[in-house]
Amino acid sequence: MTTTTTTSTAAIWKILEQVNDPEVPVLSVIDLGIVRDVKFEVSPTGGDLEGTVIVTVTPTYSGCPATDVINMNIRMALLENGYKNIQLKTVLSPAWTTEWMTEAGKEKLKAYGIAPPKPQQTVCTPDSFQQEEAIQCPHCNSYHTKLISRFGSTACKALYQCGDCKEPFDYFKCH
């Protein structure tokens, strides 16, 4: 029979706060909201760190190329902190959403120069009847921006340019 301890679980969450996303290194896996659950099953004969750590991860995209690196970094951080038996579970349903990101993570994105995901806002462009998403420039805070490419440096970002400061920037797409 195994039991779960909250003290060990809290310690594991604290460790995971130090594991950064390899594509956006200012975000931890906790900021990103991809760690869905953490459990620590204590071995009946073991000490404080003996037992099994089970971390459930939902990647931002099912084909996200960073998933293997993230899982390896989680495993390494736990090993470095004395945990030996580690299980990483990938769960694809429900699908990850930007709503799972922390507010602190969204603020870190903006400070890093990436427009954070916002609830869908639209503006009508003057030269067309189409509506475009209103994205705020992370550099000068202007909404006078335009979409350059639906895909930026990674699949989870789009490339925009600000009409006021003229700077290009990535936008972390809502989904």
Domain stop point among 74, 99, 124: 99
Domain stop point among 99, 130, 153: 99
* DSSP 8-state secondary structure symbol assigned to residue 20: B
Q: Are residues 82 and 121 in the same domain?
A: no
The percentage of residues in the chain with a pLDDT greater than 90, rounded to a whole number, is 69
Does a structural domain hold residue 75? yes
pLDDT value, residue 168:
96
pLDDT value, residue 45:
67
Which residue is associated with the tokens 């400061």?
165
pLDDT value, residue 65:
86
Residues in the chain with pLDDT values less than 70 = 1-7, 45-49, 119-133
Looking at the structure of the chain, the number of domains it has is 2
pLDDT value, residue 50:
75
Domain span holding position 31: 3-99
What CATH number has the domain bearing residue 59? 3.30.300.130
Does a structural domain hold residue 74? yes
Q: Are residues 80 and 41 in the same domain?
A: yes
Which three-class secondary structure state does DSSP give residue 109?
A: helix
pTM for this predicted structure: 0.81
Domain stop point among 53, 77, 99: 99
Q: Could you give the CA distance from residue 54 to residue 141 in angstroms, rounded to a whole number?
A: 41
Q: Are residues 124 and 50 in the same domain?
A: no
Burial string for 66-105 (b: 16+ CB within 10 Å, else e) reads: bbeebbebbbebbeeeebeebebeeeeeeebebeebeeeb
